[in-house]
C-alpha cells in the first residue's frame, strides 16, 4: 500500500489514507501515521510491522529496504530476499 503511495500526497489522498489507517487504530500504536509522503508512510508502516515482529519473536525487517522488497526488487534483478522472508 505504501510502496505505491504518492511521493507527495495531495490533501485528499492524505485524508483517505488517514481514514483507512485510523479505522484500524486498535491494532496500531497511538501515534498518528504520517501521510504526507510515500517515504514517511512507508517508514511508519515498517516500524509498526517491526513492533509486531518483536512481539512475535521474529526478526525485524530492515526498513531501508522497503522499496527493494515491495516496489523495485533487488538491484541485481534477483529475488534473493525471498528465501529469508517468513510469511
Domains and CATH numbers, the chain: 2-84 (1.20.120.310)
Residue 75 confidence (pLDDT): 81
User: Residue 63: how many CA atoms within 13 Å on its side-chain side?
Assistant: 15
Give 10-residue mean pLDDT values along the chain (87 residues).
92 93 72 91 92 94 92 78 53
Residue 28 confidence (pLDDT): 61
d(CA 54, CA 80): 23
Residue 34 confidence (pLDDT): 92
Look up residue 58 and give its DSSP letter.
Answer: P
Amino acid at each position: 500500500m505504501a510502496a505505491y503511495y504518492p511521493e507527495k500526497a495531495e490533501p485528499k489522498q492524505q485524508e483517505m489514507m488517514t481514514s483507512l489507517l485510523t479505522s484500524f487504530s486498535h491494532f496500531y500504536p497511538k501515534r498518528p501515521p504520517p501521510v504526507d509522503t510515500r517515504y514517511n508512510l512507508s517508514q511508519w508502516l515498517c516500524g509498526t510491522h517491526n513492533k509486531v515482529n518483536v512481539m512475535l519473536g521474529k526478526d525485524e525487517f530492515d526498513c531501508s529496504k522497503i522499496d527493494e522488497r515491495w516496489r523495485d526488487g533487488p538491484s541485481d534483478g534477483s529475488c534473493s530476499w525471498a528465501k529469508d522472508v517468513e510469511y
